[in-house]
Structure 1
């Protein structure tokens, strides 16, 4: 509903192309926007109120334009979404932690509003469909939308027709995982839970164990069985692409298959092969 509220706002304002400018939207409502260079752990921005006047302060010490624009859009979510101003602003100030990092419903709604505002479905789909699914496509769309790779990857997984999984991890531990509808169609899959280790026998896990490479923004790629990541009973090859996010110390992983969830008819040969594999004993050396 929050994403839809953002898209409805864009339609009313006649904004139909990418990128969407949150600075201009704030200015259109006489909201003053300023960067705050002081570093406060986890804080992305603030919404200020003095009488009927509003202001937005965002974390300027994080140099990513995509992060800053998302933070401003998050505060606009609090401003535009019904009930938010009265609920979240205490003594004239609300401190936000944007980026899908909290379970607070008001913060999550503001995050979803920001995603819908900066990456509205119609133009976002039009652009993503021009590219083969994967990390390169996410980075290309992120450049167009002027959004972070992280926020773009989450929106990409939400709208993709292909089977896509987006995993964020820190020091080898999963922060969160978003799956496309096609990927969710896998029977008996194992959901990747926050706080659990990355699957050990994966290129991403080996990459995450090398902090210098993560800090340097290096990338790794592999072709693996989907069961190595998501378990279940379906054998299918997927692409695994990961990139280090530099100073954040995080790794963004994108799993993609163009076949999972796309076949209406069952593959009898694949099912038989899978049955044989599952019933064939494996002996430790």
Structure 2
């Protein structure tokens, strides 16, 4: 099974669970889901940092411990949902709980396939495609839309932005950076259609001369949660051969010292791959497990 397919399967598994439980509205409550499976959930002391969550097993009893040193309900809900991914996804319990306890450091930054699958399960659980699309379509594309949907889903701006880029039909790029250095970049399918674009690689500097690069050079403003907006040429960020105007919006994420940047273009077109997507969804549907108590 390919990595892309396994991650989509993880999201589909979460969405299949919601469907069978009759959960159709946002926000989804991962704490209630854990309780429905008799999984004890509690927060670690605020002074204990380092990991996002833990899944524990003693005999047939399970428990989840989540980090509280990061005062973000979105982060904590995602951490619990990540551990639920290990609980629900086929093969995870046997693999990750060999010693009765599993420590997770989620956040889409690991190469461990089990951690990535649990991250994507959490995404599908907290931001299921159908309700998420309806919510994001109520707003014009951009940072404001991401923040509005994050408020609805009770998810972090970061996780919501990644899901937004994955599902939107608009040309969107989501970039996370720290101290002027790129942590990661997610592009929507429409943005990927740009010919000869330059991928923004982890560890590379923010493009010089951009408003975001200037903003990131002022850590006080970043910590204060300030935001900036600009209108630029897409080539200033992604290179390539296509001249197109894009909006550039960035917000400082407070004490994390990180900057979330959202690029949006209404000019850059997208290919119509709907038939291929429908065939792929049919395959995923046939392989999606069904849940029972």
TM-score (norm 1): 0.91
In 2, the alpha carbon distance for the partners of 1:244 and 1:49 equals 39
Q: Give the C-alpha shift of residue 238 in structure 1.
A: 0.2
**Cα distance, 1:222–1:48 mapped onto 2, change above 3 Å:** same
Matched with 1:190 is 198
- Does residue 143 of structure 2 align to residue 140 of structure 1? no
Aligned to 1:24: 32
Partner of 1:51: 59
- Offset at 1:119? 0.3
What do the CA deviations read for 1:84-105 (whole angstroms, capped 9, x no partner)?
1111124211010121121111
The gaps in structure 1 that reach 5 residues or longer are 265-285
State the distance in 2 between where 1:40 and 1:165 align: 34
Question: 2: CA distance between counterparts of 1:67 and 1:81?
Answer: 21
> Following superposition of structure 1 onto structure 2, how do residues 1-285 of structure 1 map, counting pairs within 5 Å?
1-39=9-47, 42-262=50-270
Name the CA distance, whole Å, in 2 between partners of 1:82 and 1:211. 43
Partners of 2:95 and 2:269 in 1: CA distance: 41
Provide the rounded CA distance (Å) in 2 between the counterparts of 1:112 and 1:165. 19
Separation in 2, partners of 1:255, 1:155: 15
On the 8 A contact 2:191/2:270 being kept in 1, the answer is no
Q: Determine helix, strand or coil for the equivalent of 2:35.
A: helix
CA distance in 2, matches of 1:40, 1:196: 31
RCO higher in 1 or 2 (8 Å CA, sep ≥ 6)? Answer: 2
User: Retained in 2: the 8 A contact 1:172–1:208?
Assistant: yes
1:233: how far off? 0.3
Cα distance in structure 2, aligned partners of 1:262 and 1:243: 27
Q: How many pairs are equivalent?
A: 264
> C-alpha deviations, 1:110-144, integer Å up to 9, x for none?
00000000000000000100100000000000000
In structure 2, the CA distance between the partners of 1:15 and 1:198, relative to structure 1 (3 Å rule), is same
RMSD: 1.2
The 2-side partners of 1:81 and 1:137 are apart by: 31
**Secondary structure at 2:69 match in 1:** coil
**TM-score normalised to structure 2 length:** 0.88
Q: Runs of 4+ in structure 1 displaced over 6 angstroms?
A: none
Following TM superposition, by how much is the alpha carbon of 1:38 offset from its aligned partner in structure 2, in angstroms? 4.5
